[in-house]
Structure 1
Amino acid sequence: MTRTRIPALALTTTLLLAACGPNVPTTPGGTTGGGTGTGSGAPTVNITSAAGSTLSGTTLTGPVAQFRLSLADQDGSVTGVKWDVKQGNTTVAQGSLPAADIKAVTALNLPSLPAGTYTLNVTATDNSGKTGTATAQFTVDAQRPALTSVKVDGTTVNEGASLDRLVNQSAILTVTSTDNTSNPVISVYNGTTLVARDQGTLTFDLRNNTAGPAIYTIVSTDAVGNSVSQTFTVNYAQTNTETAAPVPVLLINNTDAEPYSNVLSITASAGVAPGVSVKQMILQVTDAKGIVDTSTFTSTAENATFNIDTTKYPDGALKLQLFVVDSTDKRGQSAVKTVQIANSVAPTITIVSPTNGANVSGPTEVKVQFRQNNTAFTFQPATMTLDIIDSRGAVVTTQTAPIVATNQGLWEATTTVDFNATQYLNAGYTLRASANVKLTNETITRNLTATSVVNNQSSVGEAPALNILLPSFYDPHAKLRPVLTRKSAVAVQVSDSDNIRQVQLQFVCDAATKLPTQSCNTDAYNYNIPIGKAGLFYRVFNTGILIDGQPFVEDGNYVLRVTATDDAGHANIKEMNVVVDRSKAGIANLTFNRTDTTDNGTSKLTPTTANWYIGTGAPIYDKNANAVRALSLWYSSNSEGIADQSPSLVGINPEVAPGNSFATGTIAFNEAGSFRNSFLVQDLTTGVVEFYPGAQVLVTTRQ
């Protein structure tokens, strides 16, 4: 087989000319909990528990692991501390300590980790650049203990329970708690006061000599700080003769038949014992959606009339119940009374963006919101119609968009109007959104309408030139969708003689082509890369990372839209149908981007050369199974920088036959700086796109 080098674009002579790259040294490993140094007089690191105990492979911590670092340097001072946490070969967390926090004994608090076994690596650097490393294994126990039994006088007590006992009456609390790794400590609090504590099981008498409610909280805590709690109330009453509890009564004053509308009049009677006054009377109203109102209708009178505005509640069942607390703190409640209400209030339609009076230009997203009021309804059909009307009242264009539910009682429809289109002048327009609905208790269809006035300020001129380099179409008729996974990226080329403001990437879901399992989020996923200057540029969007962010891009069919905008507001848009499929297999036979560096010992620069290649080391080059389209992305700190999104040069091979390898070849460095080379490859059989980021090589002047 042959090894294929990917040619550079016409604007460069070859990728081999550029030059330089960081040779990051490997820090030697330390022993568990201890530390080693690199070179004479290197710093030492020792890792112990937060309490100073020696660690072992079975050391348990809570989700927020805490350690103590002992740092020392015999011929200088420790100036930097970096750490990372690995689970297997995967780095799950990393960071460094601020210089002000570095002391001989330093606390290290890790971020919250899920249950599992981890390796902590700590590297200290002294003022001479020497390093020392320590490694420790630990296991995170994230499982809370369980309160397996909570009983008072042999009866199970649940969370939030309320018990009645007499003053000085015995009330034996028994608690049993278990844990996966330790015998948990059980604590009992009366309010905030600790009253009992034991391990595994606890027995305690809740006897109290003071009348009134007492709130008890049981907390079970395991050896690493995981805890579970349960709260209940014991109401202690005096043993003297007591009056009867209230017996509340509810009466409906309306004389018309159900369902009621507008105002519902209620007479409430507290039903307290003779000589006892009302401390509080509450009319609890529960609507058809289960929402409970206990604050609107209250009184301290023995008899009260409440007028309920039923238009504030959804049509359907309205449950009424009266709760009374008398002056002796006795409580009573009436039976639940259920009535039917119906007001036939249509949903509200609103154009939420653009706002009324807004200035618009170019492609503008129009979002229309529908909010249910009292009455349930159905769309007839679930489609929003948007008319764009000019100042004469004439309809210029009409668009439609599907209406989708976004929350309970809330729907949205979103469409895009391109005010750069030739039919739109720089003038005022009225956006008129409409939809048809049918209320549950009606046979007719109602039309909902909302309007918003906007002012078009689009400027039509020469837009930046824009090309999507990868992904590419891989069938003769451009019908098959390129496949993006968690390892993919998108590369574009943009140029303009004027300042290019930004390049934007969007995933836009089209309801007409979405998959059956796809919910088609109405919010497009946007990502901008600012440029701010004129010329020819390459930009890379690391979509493999972006699709799992917020908003989340679920698996399915999308229009990949790339927009380049200049400072004058001119925009160029390129679109491509793609499919996001995280489960799709990667490119066969291609593994990782690796870097080999050499140093001849005589050059003024170190290292002297570097070779980036896809392979398994030594070097052993991988060879593609299928034909592929490949991009070689060169990064230089002396040009566009070394961030993924800003390559300095791009080499393109539109079709690499099976059995070839991917490498830059030996690059000789001729200047100091940071350099790296990445590969972006698309399988021309499966359509899968994969990004192979290269390691950074730091080239310095030999001392």
Structure 2
Amino acid sequence: MKRLALLTLPLLLAACGTVIPDTGRNVTVSANASTITLASDGSSANSTTYTFTNPAGAKPTSITSATVSWGTGADQSVTVAIPAINLPAGLTCTAAATDPSAACNYNEAGTSFGPRSLSRSIKDADLFAKVLVANPSVTSLPITVQFNNTANALNFTFTSRASGSAGGGTAPVEQAPAPVLQVVGTGPFSSNMSVNVSGNFDSLSQMDRMILQIVDKNGVVDNTSYSTTQAQATFSVDTTKLANGNATLQVIAYTKSGLRGVSSPTTITVKNVLNPVLAVAAPSNGATVSSPTVPARVTLTKSGDTAFTFNPATVSLSLMDYRGQLIQQKTATCTPSTDAATYTCDTSFDIAGLPADTYTLRATAQVVVDGANSTPQTLTTESRFTSNTVSVNPPAATISFPTAVTLTGGTRIPARIDSGSGFFATVSDDKGIQYVEARLVGPYAEGSVETDGTRQCQASGSILPGESEINVLVLNVAGAANLPYDPQDVFIPKLDVDGSTYVPDSKPGQRYDMRVTTADTEGNRNIQCVPVRVERNLARPTYAVSKDTTPSKPNTTPGELTFTSGTWYLDNVPANSRVAAVFYANGKQVGTSFISKTNGGQLSVSQTFSDPGTYSVKWLIEDMNPTLTASTGVVTSQDGGYINVSRNPK
């Protein structure tokens, strides 16, 4: 059994059998020579033996390169790759006695700590050739060699001499590269094609770049799309950019010294089956159209030299609004060019009755492409454009609170309000809402209560003789910048009739109009009137509110919300009432629930909680009892209470 006290981290790693490159540079190296001599042509019959020693307990490591330096400048060193020398871990065993490279298992008997050494001979010409290129005629030049993952550098003295004699001689001559290429697969080729290239650079050369040059059957030369700074590379060539037919490929290699080598030409055959291109030429994508008639032009153009059949030569055109809803559809007949390479299809759309908006023109055609199957292929394209024709459509507005009440027998009476009453309306527009305002104007005679808000403004007539005119702004709300046609709910919980501009109580036989104006961003307006009476000390039902949560007690689970939902209740609501529940989250209105006619029972609404915050509900009620009672027509705003939701710490 091994003594645990002797275990070290390197030894434990070795015992686990995991080979991890040694980045600690524990390995030492020595050489059997201290002078290096090369002939002026770079040749030498000599080799130097290097001994690498991994200390006891060290991890396995690999020696794969050597950096030779003859100065401190950036251009006075070179790193040379060498065949890998794999040093075993710093353990000795029976196998290592006969095989210096054998790996030892620490758990086997006879294994102990011990240094391990390997010796390798490296030809001087292989390791020091580039020293000679930089120093073609030198005597006793000090140089150092640092192998990767070793702790020490080796010092040598380098000398060059004449080749074959004691004097004269010339430095070795750098040869031009001899690049080659190989096309993967056999033709004809379509889509992407793989081409392997190799520069075959001279050992004395420094590579600059390689370029793959392609000349298609039309003589079009491409020598910019495919280049590399690697001595070997693989290019993925997009043959769809080449004309169908024979193309010639050559690789051109360049050295830093300016030498150039060109491979033998390789001929391949390109045969792509390309669909013709369907495009909307007018209106172009992103265009703005100001005329009520939109000219539409679609083109179908041959791709490369792939022929196609277009019969019948027609294109289906669909005009859609911003939602993708179909507005108009037409079929355009197409006219071919002289060579039948391009078809042009023209028609137009009348958009005079449409609002200014963004529209999509979608074109669809069916073609049979030569080389593909005989089944017609469907081609589709589209273009989005904007119409800036002025809309004359007013915004839409539905006023839910207050509203007139229809009694049994058909008589209509005004709503009854005070400072405890609220307002609710839903507005929308094809462009956008600019503002919503409401004014109390009057007084008018109590009769003439219409069922249509626009006619109500006309039916109210003139201010009663002898009365002071009232025209008080009670609300002004900006548009919410919603998308076109997206409705906006406008809710005001309290109508201030007791403020700085006081609205007197309605006298017997008199009433006011709540005149609601909704304006869109183009200045179009929708004006409606709701007949109301201002009556302080109104007789209201005794509404009761309550709420509960799910779960009933706060959830204490770490990371979870204390409550997941809440329910708000409204009791003592007379039958035939109209009720709206307006939901809030952190003070922001987030939704509405509307009940058009109650049955006298309890009302409830629920809200799900997805985030921490304060959630609440405000109720708005109008007693619409067709049998006249003390509270018929009374509008009441009732706070339903709030629920605080938090998230438990994790």
Q: What is the TM-score with the length of structure 2 in the denominator?
A: 0.28
Query: Which structure would you say has the larger Rg?
Result: 2
Please give the TM-score of this superposition, normalised by the length of structure 1. Answer: 0.26
- Structure with the bigger RCO (C-alpha within 8 Å, sep 6+) is 1
Which structure's residues are more often strand, by fraction? Answer: 1
